[in-house]
Chain A
Amino acid sequence: MAAPFRPCDRCAKPAVVHNTVIVNGKVTELHLCEEHAAAAGIVVPAAVPINALLGQLAQVGAARSAGPACTQCGQTFADFKNTGLLGCPACYEAFAATVSPTIARSQGGATQHVGRAPARNGAEVPRSALLAKLNRELDEALATEQYERAARLRDRIRDMRPRAGGAEEGTPQ
């Protein structure tokens, strides 16, 4: 329904600004056309086509409700917030900004895997991280006199070192 026509207080043009002001305890209504409103220092919003406005509103709504989405599986940030679960392996990158601190919080600050890696798809744990970890474990095992464990750890560390000199010793014929 269209608003009833109201002329500007200062000319005959239609008023676009309708303000209610209280001056010295007296309520006064103010109706101004675009030009007189601008002259009075009141900013009049530029006209925006309604469909563009609605489009923008819809986008804002979507962004607020669902957030960004994973390009691989379509899972949205809102889905993750609601379920606590990710949609696919690629979600770890798509939502890294939130997922990384979540993981660190739940894992006592840890941010690097140092355990096993699957043999088949060529994945690897960075050697430096694993070596540092194994050395720390070795120190701990020695400090607590767990010698069997220390021996196992020492073997693992030795196995990880690149073989200097390659085929110098024990080369099969």
Chain B
Amino acid sequence: MSGSAPEPLRPTDDSDVVMSCRVRLARNLAGFPFVGRATHPQRREVLESVRAAAGTDEASLGLQASDRAVPSPLAWVDMPSLPRRDRQLLFERHLVSKQFAEGDSPRAVAITPDERFSMMVNEEDHVRLQVLRPGNALRDAFASALRVDDALGGRLDFAFHPRWGYLTACPTNVGCGIRVGVMVHLRALRVTNEIEKVKRAAKELHLAVRGFHGEGTDATGDWFQVSNQRTLGVTEEEVLESIAGRIMPALVTWEREARRVLLDRQRLLLEDRVFRGLALLRSARLLGLDEAVKQLSTVRLGVCVGLVPDVALETLNRLTIQAQPAHLRAADPSIDGDDDERAARARAVRAALGG
């Protein structure tokens, strides 16, 4: 895998607030212990069963895009034999979880070349699949995820209980076993000190609010992943509607409103922060990850409100990913040590922003 711009980060509708959206499903094979309790031979058997059921390309998963005459192949990446740097790269790309990337027991991830579909086998559950889309395309992602579920469910026996639904290793994921989530940039709500209000509201609505890299990570750069927590007693469509129809539009509206307030009432302060950030990014010779992500976030806010016409949103989205450690090391394998990494990050940012 290269360190180039991932397809899911090209801007679309609502992309000033919503970077990407994804629909994830957790499934387990009947007749096997869950992953944590399964022996290595059992995990290998699960892996082989899922691999055989998935087939060789996106068409066998019901994913072939109408504009592609030939279906894209499915790449299977065997994690234990993958170098650490590449595992980290997959994690930075949101294609695997940290827990999955770090383990050495039998496990693999299937990825389509456009990275819009990925499927971890032997994470906490036997199958954790996700459909990722740029911007606000949740309904499209949802339809694709269900098609994959149909395709796999027609070839594999999923563990299912009439009362609890799809059975998962963690009992709080039962029912639909679905997570519908959006990655949103709420920089202005942070500046106006309203982010805690948003988090409280999200909690009351049974939503999970997590950082840039998911569970257990902080909201560096004011990127938040917002997804449903309820999976039982609700239909998949209901979960989709709650996020796509209500939560996401509300988050977009609130963030845009906060941006408008900042522009109207605190324009000078906002301009000061944005242009200081831009100057720093265009001048720094050593750039730490936290500093880079934070300043990219501030400049992104400036771009979204029209203060910085010469920088594209796509550039900032791309840099937010490419400034991550494994991406820098993939682009330049000679990087050795923290100072090297910070220097490489500064070079990459200056090159992209014309410093």
Contact = CB atoms under 8 A, between A and B. Distances in A.
Interface of A: 72-75, 83-89, 92, 99, 102-103, 106-121, 123-126, 133-134, 137, 146, 149, 152
Contact of B161 (A85, A107, A113, A119): A113
Contact of B158 (A107, A114, A118, A149): A118
B174 A103 contact: yes
B161 A126 contact: no
Contact of A103 (B124, B172, B238): B172
A115 B165 contact: yes
A11 to B, nearest CB: 62
B76 interface: no
B41 interface: no
Contacts of A110: 175, 230, 232-234
A39 B28 CA distance: 67
B36 A114 contact: no
Contacts of A83: 36
A92 B154 contact: no
Interface of B: 28, 30, 32-34, 36-37, 124, 146, 149-150, 153-167, 169-172, 174-176, 178, 206, 229-238, 241, 245
Contacts of A92: 161, 164, 167, 171
Contact of B169 (A86, A112, A118, A126): A86
Contacts of B230: 107-108, 110
Contact of A115 (B150, B162, B234): B234
Given A110-B234, A114-B233, A137-B235, A119 B165 contact: no
B235 A85 contact: no
A99 to B, nearest CB: 5
Given A110-B230, A113-B232, A115-B234, A121 B157 contact: yes
A118 B33 CA distance: 19
A98 B263 CA distance: 53
A120 B232 contact: no
Contacts of B34: 85-89
A113 B236 contact: no
Contacts of A84: 170
A111 B237 CA distance: 18
14 contacts: A73-B33, A75-B37, A85-B169, A89-B159, A89-B167, A92-B164, A92-B171, A103-B171, A110-B234, A113-B176, A115-B235, A117-B165, A119-B150, A123-B160
